[in-house]
Structure 1
């Protein structure tokens, strides 16, 4: 699946949740993601992808998770246990180091930051779809965290909305090998137009 073509005029990179809490030593979610991230060479591969798409003139869209604030889910009627757990430990806390961009992924001039998503989809209850459409985007390359939650759900939603989806297997990570396998080998082929390694994407961008 390496014959895809990526024109700057209709392609975007979706950079999902590049926060310190996920990607940095000391981050609240770094311990459970560390093994997978290091096995995938995650941060260097993400850096390579971002640099390559910028060099190709492809626009970068940030797809950020909600930055937690104390009590912001206290009266929710349908918050999942997963959401409640994240709220309890204040993952990606607003105005905290963990809720800041990892230093290698700070937005640059021309990048677009979508509204924060509350659950797994970068499209649900945000402005991501209209931002992409207003920039003429038809194809999305998706990297970031986590492979089987926000990446997969955002990518599936993108496909349902009519976008052509490319997944990058080693520019994401998860909390287990099983989750990575399911995301790329079981679920990914049912909705993605291309499933590539970082090196294959870089070759395609040339």
Structure 2
């Protein structure tokens, strides 16, 4: 893997799906990822990365999942298993608490929020690529949820489009340890240019403040 060089002019933090349903107590999916999330200190690491990249002058982009609305997927010919689950569970429902941003990761002035993705890739059928390229971004630090679905699909798609892609193994979570292993030990090395821990990432960021939040 190539040695990362995270220039503030060409690097973006790409935060995938920072919704309450994923990241907050009481969220529809939180209880299912909570064991892995707490083991890797997901929330603490996301806070540390968010603060560090902003301190380094790196811009934040958000790739949000489609917020469920009545009628979504019901007459689709080929909804995928996740979309079928969303249809029944009403994950990330528009206008409801679960589909709102986690309060610590809500967009701030200057952040770019891409169009919502319907499947698992933040790039497919959205304006994310255009938003990044118009701002001269070449390097993506991809964090958020879930490791083996939207993170993997978004990051892999980014590689196909020519971006330098970094995964952060403890700034994401999944439903099982096996899924985390697949995301970072089996699949990630086939497309990611760097796979780091939060502490390793923070050590590479230019002029980033030192944080005690990150997993050591």
What is residue 53 of structure 2 aligned with on the other side? 53
- 1:101-145 Cα shifts (integer Å, max 9, x gaps): 001101110000000000100000000000000000000000000
Aligned to 1:156: 156
Alignment partner of 1:42 is 2:29: no
Cα shift at 1:4: 1.2
Equivalent residue of 2:188, what SS? helix
Distance between the aligned counterparts of 1:82 and 1:60, measured in 2? Answer: 26
Distance in 1 (CA, whole Å) between partners of 2:39 and 2:51 is 21
Q: 3-state SS of the aligned residue for 2:85?
A: helix
Per the normalisation by structure 1, the TM-score is 0.98
- Provide the rounded CA distance (Å) in 2 between the counterparts of 1:34 and 1:142: 20
Matches of residues 163-202 of structure 1 in structure 2 within 5 Å?
A: 163-202=163-202
Q: Which aligned runs of 4 or more in structure 1 are off by greater than 2 angstroms?
A: none
Structure 1: runs of 5 or more not aligned: none
- 1:1-206 to structure 2, matched below 5 A, reads 3-206=3-206
Instruction: Kindly indicate whether the alpha-carbon contact (under 8 Å) linking 2:33 and 2:175 is maintained by their aligned counterparts in 1.
Output: yes
- Residue-by-residue CA offset, 1:167-186 (whole Å, 9 max, x unaligned): 00000000000000000000
The TM-score with structure 2 as length reference comes to: 0.93
Q: Over residues 6-61 of structure 1, what are the superposed CA-to-partner deviations in whole Å (9 max), with x where a residue is unaligned?
A: 00111001000010000011000011110010011001100101111101111000
**Structure 2 unaligned spans of 5+:** 207-216
Distance 1:81 1:47 in 2: 31
- Return the offset for 1:87: 1.2
Count of equivalent residues: 206
CA distance in 2, matches of 1:138, 1:172: 22
Change (3 A) 1:112 1:171: same
Maintained 8 Å contact 1:121/1:157: yes
Offset, 1:2 = 8.6
